[in-house]
Amino acid sequence: MLDGAAKMAEWRAAFEAVGELPREERGLKGRFERALERVKASISAQRARDKERSLEDLLEAASRIHAYGRAVSQAAPIAEREALKQAAEIYIAGVSRWPKGGAEALADAWGTAAAAKPLDPAHEKALRMLCVRSEILIDLATPAEDQELRRDYQMRRLVERMGRGNYGADDSVESLSLEWTRSNSAPEDVYRSLFARFNGSLRSARSGASRRT
C-alpha cells in the first residue's frame, strides 16, 4: 500500500503523462497543484494527530504499569496485582502504534515494576524533576514547592553549557515521555498529582507544535 507521498507522486506522474493541455484547459494544472497542496496539508495534520495519540497512549500505558509496580512493591494481594497487570496488558494490546523508542521504554517499565523495589522518596523527586523539565520546555510556571528544584536544574544546565560548550540535546516531548515511562513510581496520591501536572505540560507542548505545523 502506497503512503501519502508516494500516492501524490503517482498522481503527479499520471497528470503529467496527459501531456500538453488545450489552451482552454490550462487552468487545470493550477487547480491540480492546489489540490495536491490540500492533500499534503491533510496528511501532515493526520501524522501530527497520530504522533500525539501515540504519546498519549505511551503515558497512559506507563501510568497503568506504574500502578501495577506500586502494588508489587507494597505486597498488595495477588488478585489486586494480577488485575492491575491485566489492565495494563489489555490497554497495551489495544494500541497499534507507539512513538519511536516507546516499545523499548515499556519493556523497561515492566522490568522496573516487577523488581518490587520499595517506594523511595528519590523516586518522587525524579518525577518532580520531570515535571519541572516539562514546564521549562514550554516556559510554564512551576509550583512553589518545586521552585528550588527548578532553580537548581537551570543552574546546573548553565554550568554544564559553559563548561562543555554544548550541553547536549535539549528536552523534547518525546524524550521526556520516554523518561517518564521508564521512571519508578511513587505513592498513588503523589503519582496521580504529578502525572496530571506532567501530562498537562506535554499536552500544551504538543498543542503548540501542532499549531506551528
Tell me what pLDDT residue 151 has.
95
Tell me what pLDDT residue 1 has.
42
Tell me what pLDDT residue 161 has.
80
User: What pTM does this model have?
Assistant: 0.77
At residue 186, φ and ψ (nearest 5 deg) are -150, 170
Structural domain range at position 122:
4-212
- What does the alpha-carbon distance between residue 151 and residue 10 come to, in Å, rounded to a whole number? 54
- The total number of structural domains in the chain stands at 1
**Residue found by looking up cell 518545586 in the block:** 146
Sequential pLDDT tens for the chain (213 residues):
456 667 767 766 765 666 666 665 656 767 777 777 776 766 666 676 778 899 999 999 999 999 999 999 999 999 999 999 999 999 999 999 999 999 999 999 999 999 988 989 999 999 999 999 999 999 999 999 999 999 999 998 888 888 765 555 578 999 999 999 999 999 999 999 999 999 999 999 887 654 544
Tell me what pLDDT residue 148 has.
96
